[in-house]
Amino acid sequence: MTGGARGIGAATVMAFRARGARVAVGARSLASFDAFVARFEAADVLPAVGDLSNREAARGVVHAAIEGLGGLDVLVNSAGIFAEVAFADVTQAHWDEAIHINLGGTFFCAQAALPVLAASSGNIVNVASDAGVVGYPLGTAYSAAKGGVVNLTRAMAVELAGRVRVNCVCPGNVETDMMLEAAARSGDAERYLAKARARAPCKRMATPDEVAAAILYLASPEATFTTGAALVVDGGGTAGF
């Protein structure tokens, strides 16, 4: 589980644990892993610490999980970053970070896990975004990366059919620390959050647990004939006006 120390990733770790799974929690640092363990009283999870912005580090995270668990049945790629930047203001550094972590990390973690997942007839669930399905203003680099995750999922599903199932979820706005951080950076957090809640026809944001439930379904035996799917969890936000 990459990005497992907070937000959607943390909720998904707890959902898998509740069903008896052994879980390796991917985190950027040992400090963030330790904070997760303390917050959720989850002393039984294993650390898989590293930066996903380059191929070798991403492979190291996956190999740590495989070694700690003694194998792998499911890889959930949940690690991601988000920042609102106007198109004209996107720098090389912002572009590289958004693409390398959101898309590159997903690709290289999946690539590293493939031999073990193929041996276990396992599956991959990628966390994309509704921004990978529709355009997101002030989020061109993020939208490009998450759109890449959606089509990466489809391409992998076709190429790996019969060996490893590959699906993704596309959450809309979710009540996470990352959302709160974006709100704080806006200069008017309450207005930002109100706008985020109003964006979907349901007039609220998703909870991390609601997205985790979708991930759990795609990873489960109930979804054995589902591969290449992009399951949108957005309160109707991309359905239309």
For 200-209, what is each residue's pLDDT tens digit?
Answer: 999 999 999 9
CA atoms within 13 A of residue 194's CA, in its CB half-sphere: 4
Res. 24 pLDDT band, cuts 50 70 90: very high
Q: Are 206 and 235 in contact (CB under 8 A)?
A: yes
For residue 125, the SS3 value is: strand
Cβ-based burial of 30 (10 A; exposed 0-12, middle 13-18, buried ≥19) = exposed
Q: What pLDDT score does 27 carry?
A: 96
Q: Which pLDDT score is estimated for 192?
A: 95
3-state DSSP percent of the chain in helix, strand and coil, to 5: 55, 15, 35
Look at residue 41 in the predicted model and tell me its pLDDT. 96
Q: Which residue has the tokens 């759990």?
A: 216
- Give the pLDDT of residue 115: 98
Using left for φ > 0, alpha for ψ between -120 and 50, and beta otherwise, residue 212 falls in alpha
Residue 19 has pLDDT above 90, yes or no: yes
What pLDDT is attached to residue 240? 83
Q: Alpha-carbon distance 208 to 223, whole Å?
A: 21
Q: Point out the catalytic residue in the list 136, 142, 192, 217.
A: 142
Share of the chain above pLDDT 70, in %: 100
Kindly list the distances between the CA atom of residue 16 and the CA atoms of 21, 159, 217, in Å, as whole numbers in the listed order.
5, 27, 11
**Average pLDDT of the segment spanning 106-115:** 98
N-terminal to C-terminal alpha carbon distance within the chain: 35
239 has pLDDT over 90: yes
Structure tokens at 160: 């790996």
Q: What is the pLDDT of residues 32-83, one digit of tens each?
A: 999 999 999 999 999 999 999 999 999 999 999 999 999 999 999 999 999 9
Q: What is the mean pLDDT of the chain?
A: 96
CA angle 39/35/1 to nearest 5° reads 90
Rounded to whole angstroms, the Cα distance separating 46 from 94 reads 31
Can you name the residues that pair with 74 across neighbouring β-strands? Answer: 123
Residue 148: what pLDDT?
A: 98
Q: Which residues pair with 230 in a beta bridge?
A: 168
- φ, ψ for residue 103 (rounded to 5)? -105, -50
CA–CA separation, 218 vs 168, rounded Å? 8
**Active-site residue flag, 192:** no
Residue 241 has pLDDT above 80, yes or no: no
As a whole-number percent, the residues of the chain with pLDDT over 90 amount to 98
pLDDT in tens, 76-110: 999 999 999 999 999 999 999 999 999 999 999 99
Task: Please name each of the domains of the chain with its CATH number.
Answer: 7-233 (3.40.50.720)
Q: Give the pLDDT of residue 69.
A: 97
pLDDT digits (tens, 9 = 90+) for 119-136: 999 999 999 999 999 998
